[in-house]
Structure 1
């Protein structure tokens, strides 16, 4: 959600399968698969992405290749320009094999020292991370992390260039999701809808099948943070098929009003929680695990997929690793290097059924 400018300048924190959620075999091989690797490369057998295959939106649910609703659970990277060193063979082996995560959100900031400073470098890094997630049987959620300015139309030209290349190269894969607008803010839903309806056909020209996620107004709060509500989206949906709408929350800041909006909206439109934290909206401060459990119980019951913010060692409480872990190369498995939020989220990904869902 909204983050103070000081947070943005120093690096912010970002940010499960219903059918299968078993540990996966750790991938071996070189540190980084080539960005020119085959776009039709498939996930290893008996991993979430292999078993569930290409996802699609069916009604208000995300469904697998057999048409069965599924819930993805996983982690988001931090901004690649700040914490790319936290995404290695070892850390992603742990995310897939120790955490049992289904999905990696690849957080590509557009501004704040990200994509716009070196489009070639950052696009190649995203190619690489897609291959690394694929090799481990996880879904790769490609996050176009526009944040400041809040109107996604500011980056429409850049988004068209980026997603054209990503979709063209990886359209043969069945483990992708495209998130085309992270947290629109200070902008109306009609402007966001216009952006989506200009960008989606460009992606579809290259990749007709991968689900596309669309950010909502008020920092992807379905408008709640702007004093609006989900009826803006429900009453005027994006004119496109196989899409979902995103919702973000930070449990210590976003209480019953936000939870109720998610509950109501998910009965009417397909929703994916592409970012949340157990702490305050700055990604820092005390954890509110009680409120977070209310959200996660709702999402488990309704099979709403989620991604936690974030898989890095930033000093804030929302980053799962203790500071210095990434530069030291781990340890990545177990809980010795994890902050309290990391321990809690890892447990929820690993053993979701151990938590009440009623």
Structure 2
């Protein structure tokens, strides 16, 4: 069962129409006894589905510079990104996903599928099927799922354009009927110009739209999705030359131990003109390791809350680095997954910010 804090947070996000739908669903639902979470293949009742993030918010769309729910109300999604599936799929289990949905109260899970580095290119069928499975598991729990085409090296997304067309064609065909899937088509373009990235997006988005005309598409930005800041540029190159497509958002990644005022300022300015989604961030350095800079990270959290910028944190695994939320060995032992006991300091910090609404106290 979700906590009372979760329902308060949900009401603060969905607006009057969404709140009305939520109360109707709650009043129709009988009180449920405390029980262990159902397996991912178990049927979900209409009453249970109605009070999940997807049940409340439904099909998302871009409205102006914001992400909006089925009632046209701007919302903010908060959740976690997996680590690379080729290394840490053992951290994405029935138990860990139950915890993410019902203990962390996450709205969204980012499914991080690397293309190189022993990822998709080594076995396209295996990795495509793995993504299908994780979309279904997120769906069963009422969470949104970001399908992350995690290209990183080489940094030109056009290197993988043919693979991306094949992959996203199948994903869009199979999941077009769902209301909870978002497509992130280029994780961190690097070493290339914005026009090069824009060209890639304008070739791939129509492939997705043939099968799924409604789902928001998330487009990576220059300089490791830094809006070009890491390359000495800024958001104006996108403002002045946006992707020629509708219902899209632009991604921004930051690591608080490395990315200070220049990055924060670019995100703030961009969010006033462009639909932004922070699909990856950490409280450490850009390597996902090192000391946590919680003070700098909180500045980002506050900015994203004030401008309703959705986010997912890196990463939901037990990697040895400080940015992995679970203590090393948690996944191999299949948990425990709930509470703060199995978490590193970064995990405790981000879990609290996912669970607790900005306008409600912690604790």
TM-score normalized by structure 1?
0.89
Work out the number of aligned pairs and report it: 333
Measured against aligned partners, the alpha-carbon deviations of 1:48-87 in whole angstroms (never above 9, x if no partner) come to 1111000000000000000000000000000000000000
**For 1:220-299, what aligned pairs fall within 5 Å after superposition?**
220-299=225-304
**CA distance in structure 2 between the aligned counterparts of 1:352 and 1:299, rounded to whole angstroms:** 12
Is the contact between residue 43 and residue 134 of structure 1 (CA under 8 Å) also seen in structure 2?
no
Measured against aligned partners, the alpha-carbon deviations of 1:80-121 in whole angstroms (never above 9, x if no partner) come to 000000000000000000000000000000000000000000
- Alignment partner, residue 5 of structure 1: none
1:171 aligns with 2:181: no
**CA distance in structure 2 between the aligned counterparts of 1:43 and 1:170, rounded to whole angstroms:** 21
How far did residue 271 of structure 1 move?
0.3
**CA distance in structure 1 between the aligned counterparts of 2:355 and 2:59, rounded to whole angstroms:** 23
Is the contact between residue 313 and residue 322 of structure 1 (CA under 8 Å) also seen in structure 2?
yes
Measured against aligned partners, the alpha-carbon deviations of 1:227-278 in whole angstroms (never above 9, x if no partner) come to 1110111100000000000000000100000000000000010000000000
Unaligned runs of 5+ in 1: 1-15
Q: Classify the secondary structure of the residue corresponding to 1:129.
A: helix
How far did residue 43 of structure 1 move?
8.2
- Alignment partner, residue 349 of structure 1: 354
Higher RCO, 1 or 2 (CA under 8 Å, sep at least 6)? 1
Is the contact between residue 80 and residue 109 of structure 1 (CA under 8 Å) also seen in structure 2?
yes
**CA distance in structure 2 between the aligned counterparts of 1:235 and 1:277, rounded to whole angstroms:** 29
Is the contact between residue 43 and residue 138 of structure 1 (CA under 8 Å) also seen in structure 2?
no
How far did residue 352 of structure 1 move?
2.9
TM-score normalized by structure 2?
0.88
Find 1:29's aligned residue among 39, 47, 51: 39
**CA distance in structure 2 between the aligned counterparts of 1:230 and 1:29, rounded to whole angstroms:** 44
**CA distance in structure 1 between the aligned counterparts of 2:71 and 2:220, rounded to whole angstroms:** 27
**CA distance in structure 2 between the aligned counterparts of 1:77 and 1:170, rounded to whole angstroms:** 20
**For 1:289-328, what aligned pairs fall within 5 Å after superposition?**
289-328=294-333
1:333 aligns with 2:333: no
Unaligned runs of 5+ in 2: 1-8, 23-31
- Alignment partner, residue 218 of structure 1: 223
- Alignment partner, residue 106 of structure 2: 101
Is the contact between residue 26 and residue 97 of structure 1 (CA under 8 Å) also seen in structure 2?
no
Q: Classify the secondary structure of the residue corresponding to 2:358.
A: helix
Q: Classify the secondary structure of the residue corresponding to 1:348.
A: helix
Structure whose residues are more often helix by fraction: 2
My pick for the range that moved more, 346-355 or 270-279, is: 346-355
Q: Classify the secondary structure of the residue corresponding to 1:248.
A: strand
- Alignment partner, residue 192 of structure 1: 197
**CA distance in structure 2 between the aligned counterparts of 1:135 and 1:142, rounded to whole angstroms:** 16
**Distance verdict in 2 for CA 1:42–1:166, change over 3 Å:** farther
- Alignment partner, residue 121 of structure 1: 126
How far did residue 44 of structure 1 move?
1.8
Is the contact between residue 43 and residue 49 of structure 1 (CA under 8 Å) also seen in structure 2?
no
Q: Classify the secondary structure of the residue corresponding to 1:295.
A: helix
Measured against aligned partners, the alpha-carbon deviations of 1:133-170 in whole angstroms (never above 9, x if no partner) come to 00001000000000000000000000000000000000
- Alignment partner, residue 3 of structure 1: none
**CA distance in structure 2 between the aligned counterparts of 1:245 and 1:131, rounded to whole angstroms:** 25
Q: Classify the secondary structure of the residue corresponding to 1:169.
A: helix
Q: Which has the larger radius of gyration?
A: 2
